[in-house]
Chain A
Amino acid sequence: MVPFIACLLLFLLGLYAIVLKRNIIKIIIGFSLMEYAVNLLFAFIGFKQGAIAPIITRLGMTQDFVDPLPQALVLTSIVIGLATTALMLAFAMRIYEKYHTFDITEIRRLRG
């Protein structure tokens, strides 16, 4: 139960950065933290006490394996997370070149 609660706390920390921070880089860091929280929650849900990683090393193994399905889902999600983070960083860089600031309230004032 404690690992799940830690994941939820990390999710709330990321959401706090997105809602209440005014710096764009901090907001992107908040997005990354939320993504880590969700990935970690998936991996924790699939964990089985005393089991081994789901890789068959010889024929006719009888040990318990952990759940491989959440791992397969998270595997694609991690790489997608890096690509979307890079996309957000590109937006941030473009905004900085136009407005010379990362402060979102300044950007709103300069619109038009």
Chain B
Amino acid sequence: MIELYVLLVAMLAAAVVAIEIKDLLAAAVSMGMVGFSVAILFILVQAPDLAIVQIVVEILAVVFFAAVILRTTHDDSTVQLRITSRMILPAVLYGIFVLMFVAVMTSVLRELPVFGSPLMRVAGNYLAVGLNQSGAANLVTAIVLDFRAYDTIGEAVVLFTAVVGVLTIVRQIGRKADAGEEHA
């Protein structure tokens, strides 16, 4: 499993670069590297469904980021090395949160099953009766569209809301600003 640890390190390094780099386009590309690392990690933990979705979604996410950045600016003018006074309060709050998070997570990590041996209390039943009751050989699809189809309805509603929100926010200014009517 050495490749898993190599990919985890690459993922964390790319995340640091994506947060700290000055050029926003480079930040978006670094975020894409994090996403592709996640996709390969999905393959390593035997989740090919997730890997396919993650790869294609990551391509589209980088395209969306590039569209917005090329339309506006790709220079992050807020990157600065010296510490100003208005950064102190968020930094202190973040430090307090990190301390609490680590304190909670040390106990949670003790409770979690060891990596490589899940509990499978619910999924054992799905694995036993999945092919007979739903007829689908891909058990992930059987769960998504048969056993837990309400989740999928909720997903469809959220997706519809997001699409309507994007169209409402962007469409009218995209057209009117070209004609020079609003916010010239």
**What is the predominant secondary structure among interface residues of chain A facing chain B?**
helix
> Does B116 have its Cβ within 8 Å of any Cβ on chain A?
yes
Residues in chain A near residue B4, CB distance under 8 A: 3
> Does B71 have its Cβ within 8 Å of any Cβ on chain A?
yes
One digit per residue, 1 when the CB lies within 8 angstroms of any chain A CB and 0 when it does not, for chain B 118-149 equals: 10101100110011000001111001100010
Residues in chain B near residue A6, CB distance under 8 A: 8, 11-12
Measured in the bound complex, the distance between the Cα atoms of B24 and A103 in whole Å is: 13
Choose among B71, B118, B122, B158 the residue that contacts A45 (Cβ–Cβ < 8 A): B118
**What is the predominant secondary structure among interface residues of chain B facing chain A?**
helix
Residues in chain B near residue A39, CB distance under 8 A: 38, 50, 54
**Minimum C-beta distance from A83 to chain B (A):** 4
Q: Is the CB of A76 within 8 A of B173?
A: no
Question: In the complex, which range does the number of interface residues on chain B fall in?
Answer: 35 or more
Interface size on A, residues (CB 8 A): 77
Choose among A10, A49, A89 the residue that contacts B65 (Cβ–Cβ < 8 A): A89
Residues in chain A near residue B72, CB distance under 8 A: 92-93, 96, 102
Within 8 A of A (CB), among B135-182: 137-140, 143-144, 148, 151-152, 154-155, 158-159, 162-163, 165-166, 169-170, 173, 177
User: B residues touching A (Cβ–Cβ < 8 Å)?
Assistant: 4-5, 8, 11-12, 15-16, 18-19, 24, 27-28, 31, 34-35, 38, 41-42, 45-50, 53-54, 57, 60-61, 64-65, 68-69, 71-73, 76-79, 86-87, 90-91, 93-94, 97-98, 101, 105, 109, 112-118, 120, 122-123, 126-127, 130-131, 137-140, 143-144, 148, 151-152, 154-155, 158-159, 162-163, 165-166, 169-170, 173, 177, 183
User: A residues touching B (Cβ–Cβ < 8 Å)?
Assistant: 1-6, 8-10, 12-17, 19-23, 25-26, 29-30, 32-33, 36, 39-40, 43-49, 51-57, 65-69, 71-76, 78-87, 89-94, 96-98, 101-103, 105
